[in-house]
């Protein structure tokens, strides 16, 4: 079973020279989508595609009338202030536009002169959320994270009985999801110390990041219909990096019995680029379940999911403290892991989400849950790095951390690389912690 086509050919090069540089995030084999406008302008936001260090202005390309048919329709759908109209088109339209852009950007293309007029340097643009996120569901798919955190509260029984039977998730608040570069104030709410008789009100003291993959829904489903596990590729538009910031002390007091609330709805952050599901095809891999664990029910299992369900996306987190910025010191990497360790696949998340007839809409968003790996150095959150806040860790410049402090910037990066395929990147997502208001 192969999902590869000519757009994945590692021999392809582009007439945009910066796309051919080794370890470039955005070679011609990637072509991710975003919403942008010129920095410091009042222009309308519109769709763009990354190639090297440039952005193709899809509204300008649409107006150039170089394409017709479904490609012209797709370009028009990308010309508005969100990508929702484009994401609502069939997957075949996403693929057609990607193929047309790949051809137009390939070295020797007859349309080079015309397309070059639609390029803008990425350093000159400002990004917005790539789409209107109508609904957001956060999953909990890393068994390594779930086990590590579970041990802090239930040492003898870290995983609850349902974890290995279904993809756990909760509905979050989409209005507080922002795009990379956002600065946010430390959240405030009630907290209750274990030895306190009553709760108190004030700023969060245990502010944490969560290294996640974000998944964007494309074409939706009608209410009452389910999406079969083998049809999910027709509905998964693409993926991004996602920092689901969390206030651990607020969460500990509020989450029972209904789950996260103010601890999670203040400043989640996405990277600006959506890496399409098609671009990720070379990095899909076999997904397996330990034979000693419960095997997925029929609606969560298929030969296709076993063969191609996992995605080998490398994820890393860096921290840049105020002191690092003031001394012009490079950010320090804290952790690195891979999405391939996920206990549940993206297809299983979508199949489970809709099995009850829940209707997904173009632009709906899934968080994968914190992605931690099985080994030391692969922790996807500070609550794991600090053993629940019991042990601080030292940074290379001598500072120590247990949780995030005011002035800290969290930087997450991601990429896919393997022999026989061109490396593609996700760019990065950054979030800056400001002091609590008031």
pLDDT tens per residue across span 59-84: 999 999 999 999 999 999 999 999 99
278 class by beta-carbon count within 10 Å (0-12 exposed, 13-18 middle, 19+ buried): buried
User: Do 147 and 167 share a domain, yes or no?
Assistant: yes
Question: Would you state the pLDDT for residue 357?
Answer: 98
Q: pTM of this prediction? A: 0.98
Separation CA 148–CA 125 (nearest Å): 40
The DSSP annotation for 114-129 comes to HHHTTEEEGGGEEEE-
User: Do 109 and 196 share a domain, yes or no?
Assistant: no
Question: Is residue 420 a contact partner of residue 248, using CB atoms and an 8 Å limit?
Answer: no
User: Do 203 and 72 share a domain, yes or no?
Assistant: no
Separation CA 373–CA 363 (nearest Å): 28
Percent of the chain whose predicted confidence (pLDDT) is above 70: 100
Where does a domain end: 104, 128, 152?
128
Separation CA 93–CA 72 (nearest Å): 10
Judge whether 403 lies within some domain: yes
Confidence category of residue 1, pLDDT binned at 50, 70, 90? low
User: Do 318 and 397 share a domain, yes or no?
Assistant: yes
Q: What residues are paired with 223 via a beta bridge?
A: none
Question: Would you state the pLDDT for residue 159?
Answer: 95
User: Do 314 and 195 share a domain, yes or no?
Assistant: yes
User: Do 28 and 155 share a domain, yes or no?
Assistant: no
Number of compact structural domains in the chain: 2
3-state secondary structure of 237: strand
Pairing of strands 275-276, 33-38: unpaired
Provide the 10 A C-beta neighbour count for residue 95: 17
Judge whether 206 lies within some domain: yes
Mean pLDDT for 169-175 is 95
Separation CA 27–CA 50 (nearest Å): 8
1 class by beta-carbon count within 10 Å (0-12 exposed, 13-18 middle, 19+ buried): exposed
User: Do 195 and 225 share a domain, yes or no?
Assistant: yes
3-state secondary structure of 51: strand
Separation CA 410–CA 65 (nearest Å): 42
User: Do 121 and 219 share a domain, yes or no?
Assistant: no
pLDDT at 406 over 70: yes
Judge whether 375 lies within some domain: yes
Judge whether 34 lies within some domain: yes
Separation CA 143–CA 166 (nearest Å): 12
191-205 tens-digit pLDDT: 999 899 999 999 999
- Classify 407 in phi/psi space as left (phi over 0), alpha (psi -120 to 50) or beta: left
Domain containing 71 equals: 6-128
The DSSP annotation for 272-295 comes to S-BEETTTTGGGEE-----TTSPP
Confidence category of residue 348, pLDDT binned at 50, 70, 90? very high
Judge whether 67 lies within some domain: yes
Judge whether 1 lies within some domain: no
User: Do 108 and 188 share a domain, yes or no?
Assistant: no
Q: Give 296's DSSP letter.
A: P
User: Do 98 and 148 share a domain, yes or no?
Assistant: no
Question: Would you state the pLDDT for residue 300?
Answer: 98
Where does a domain end: 96, 128, 160?
128
Confidence category of residue 282, pLDDT binned at 50, 70, 90? very high
pLDDT at 87 over 70: yes
- Of residues 96, 72, 82, the one with CA closest to residue 47: 82
Question: Would you state the pLDDT for residue 153?
Answer: 86
Judge whether 371 lies within some domain: yes
3-state secondary structure of 103: helix
User: Do 69 and 149 share a domain, yes or no?
Assistant: no
Separation CA 287–CA 210 (nearest Å): 23
User: Do 318 and 192 share a domain, yes or no?
Assistant: yes
The DSSP annotation for 145-173 comes to HHHHHHHHH-TT--S-TTTTTS--EEEE-
Q: Give 297's DSSP letter.
A: P
With a CB cutoff of 8 Å and minimum separation 6, the contacts of 436 are 185, 186, 187, 188, 202, 203, 204
CATH number, domain with residue 304: 3.90.850.10
pLDDT at 402 over 70: yes
214-264 tens-digit pLDDT: 999 999 999 999 999 999 999 999 999 999 999 999 999 999 999 999 999
Average pLDDT, the chain: 97
Judge whether 110 lies within some domain: yes
Where does a domain end: 95, 128, 161?
128
Mean pLDDT for 272-301 is 98
Question: Is residue 276 a contact partner of residue 86, using CB atoms and an 8 Å limit?
Answer: no
Q: Could you give the residue numbers annotated as active site?
A: 145
């Amino acid at each position: 079973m192969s999902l590869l086509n000519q757009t994945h050919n590692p021999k392809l090069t582009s007439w945009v020279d910066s796309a051919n540089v080794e370890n470039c995030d955005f070679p011609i084999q990637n072509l991710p989508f975003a919403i942008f406008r010129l920095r410091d302008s009042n222009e309308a936001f519109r769709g763009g595609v990354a190639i090297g260090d440039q952005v193709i202005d899809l509204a300008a390309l649409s107006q150039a009338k170089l394409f017709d048919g479904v490609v012209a329709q797709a370009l028009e759908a990308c010309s508005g202030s969100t990508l929702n109209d484009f994401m609502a088109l069939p997957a075949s339209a996403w693929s057609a536009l990607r193929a047309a852009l790949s051809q137009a950007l390939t070295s020797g293309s007859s349309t080079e002169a015309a397309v070059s007029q639609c390029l803008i340097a990425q350093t000159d643009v400002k990004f917005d959320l790539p789409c209107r996120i109508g609904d957001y569901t956060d999953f909990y798919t890393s068994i390594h994270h779930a086990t590590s955190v579970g041990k802090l509260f239930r040492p003898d029984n870290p995983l609850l009985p349902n974890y290995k039977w279904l993809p756990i998730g909760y509905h979050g608040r989409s209005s507080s999801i922002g795009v990379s570069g956002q600065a946010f104030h430390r959240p405030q709410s009630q907290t209750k110390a274990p030895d306190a008789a009553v709760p108190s009100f004030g700023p969060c003291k245990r502010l944490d990041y969560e290294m996640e993959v974000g998944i964007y829904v494309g074409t939706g489903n009608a209410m009452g219909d389910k999406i079969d596990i083998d049809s999910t590729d027709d509905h998964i538009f693409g993926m991004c990096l996602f920092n689901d910031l969390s206030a651990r002390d607020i969460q500990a007091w509020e989450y029972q019995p209904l789950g996260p609330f103010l601890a999670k709805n203040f400043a989640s952050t996405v990277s600006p680029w959506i890496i399409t599901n098609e671009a990720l095809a070379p990095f899909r891999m076999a997904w397996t379940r330990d034979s000693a664990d419960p095997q997925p029910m029929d609606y969560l299992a298929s030969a296709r999911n076993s063969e191609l369900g996992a995605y080998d996306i490398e994820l890393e987190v860096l921290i840049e403290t105020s002191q690092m910025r003031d001394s012009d010191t490079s950010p320090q990497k804290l952790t690195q892991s891979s999405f391939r360790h996920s206990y549940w696949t993206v297809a299983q998340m979508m199949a489970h989400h809709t099995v009850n007839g829940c209707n997904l809409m173009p632009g709906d968003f899934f968080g994968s849950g914190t992605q931690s790996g099985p080994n030391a150095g692969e922790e996807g959150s500070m609550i794991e790095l600090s053993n629940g806040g019991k042990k601080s860790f030292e940074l290379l410049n001598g500072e120590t951390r247990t949780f995030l402090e005011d002035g800290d910037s969290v930087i997450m990066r991601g990429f896919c690389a393997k022999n026989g395929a061109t490396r593609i990147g996700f760019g990065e997502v950054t979030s800056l912690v400001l002091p609590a208001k008031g």
